[in-house]
Amino acid sequence: METNLIPVGIIGTGSYVPDQVVTNKDLEKIVDTSDEWIVTRTGISERRKAQSHMATSDLSILAAQRAIEAAGIKPEDLDLIIVATITPDMFFPSTACFVQEKIGAAKAAAFDLSAACTGFIYGVSVASQFIATGMYKYVLVIGAETLTRILNPADRNTLVIFGDGAGAAVLGPVETGKGFLSFDLGSDGSGAELLCQEGGGSRLPASIETIEKGKHYLTMAGNEVYKFAVRIMGEASIKALDKAGLTRESVDFLVPHQANIRIVDAAVKRLQLPAEKVYINLDKYGNMSGASIPVALDEAVRKNKIKKDDIVVLVGFGAGLTWGSCVLRWNY
């Protein structure tokens, strides 16, 4: 089909993870768990924790500056900033507005996007529509989280899984045939309660009682989310490949959401990919929700795992429930 749409791609990536490392051994001292359980059930050995003075926008800014530099543009060139996060600095204003001011993106519009671990995929999908139509030229998409701020220190189900970090990508116009080839996004709100932060919103405003009951913490029905994840990661990848007119044989590199090594393995098996075509860093960082995919992507790019013209698949799932995948022909 002939269209007048402008081809859009990622033209620079960046990431930042806090220095403080929390090992499985550290967590053994806090909850009833073991390094052996965490490694065999999740693949995670350690995760990062933001210093108490750093909020999500602070992590975002460092990732964003690296992405802007890699893209070879100036902050003033940005037309829009999207921050995908479930741990914003505040409910409002948006974390994206704090980033806009701090990086000096004088002409950029800014908003946050909430799709949990799928947030970065949703974010690049939204961003690319603005560029494809010619409305904007450069859009910065950030996935950033300070999840350790909403973890219940007494809940071993979640404490061992999640960590803090930020990843960013600058999107812009690219050569015809390059960049984003397709997206597949989805949601199923019937699973909303499987992974949520119940208190503090309009349904259950913060009160002494909600605090006493720990309603301000993230809760997760891990096993239910696990079953959904194992199915959806492969399905969403295949759907996005279908939409791009490609098959799993054409995939050169997969950057999956870094939730649990067993979930990633299931997706890899479905796509029948060899290990060297898959990027994994969950052993070092755990699950950073919206930050997982962009941090992994940035590391893969900087390690030259992704080359020009490679077919790259990004795929994720998360609270909502939400899921999403996109296929790119890498453009640099």
Which residues are known to be catalytic?
A: 117, 257, 287
What are the phi and psi torsion angles at 266 (to 5°)?
-65, -40
Q: Which two three-digit tokens encode residue 269?
A: 């098996």
Toward ligand UT7, which CB reaches closer, 21 or 221? 221
> How many residues in total does the chain contain?
332
Q: Which residue is nearest to ligand UT7 (CB)?
A: 222
Q: How far is CA 205 from the centre of its chain?
A: 27
Question: Contact, 152 vs 159, CB < 8 A?
Answer: yes
Toward ligand UT7, which CB reaches closer, 33 or 65? 33
Toward ligand UT7, which CB reaches closer, 73 or 166? 166
Beta carbon of residue 274, minimum distance to ligand UT7 (angstroms, whole number)? 24
* DSSP per residue, 205-225: ---HHHHHTTTTSEEE-HHHH
Beta carbon of residue 260, minimum distance to ligand UT7 (angstroms, whole number)? 4
Beta carbon of residue 331, minimum distance to ligand UT7 (angstroms, whole number)? 28
Give residues in contact with ligand UT7 (CB under 6 A). Answer: 33, 37-38, 41-42, 117, 156-157, 160-161, 195, 220, 222-223, 225-226, 229, 259-260, 287, 289, 318
- Please say whether the dihedral angle defined by the alpha carbons of residues 89, 90, 93 and 94, taken in this order, is positive or negative: positive
| Alpha-carbon torsion, ordered 74, 80, 86, 91, to 10 deg | 110
Toward ligand UT7, which CB reaches closer, 102 or 156? 156
CA angle 16, 185, 265 (to 5 degrees): 65
Beta carbon of residue 38, minimum distance to ligand UT7 (angstroms, whole number)? 6
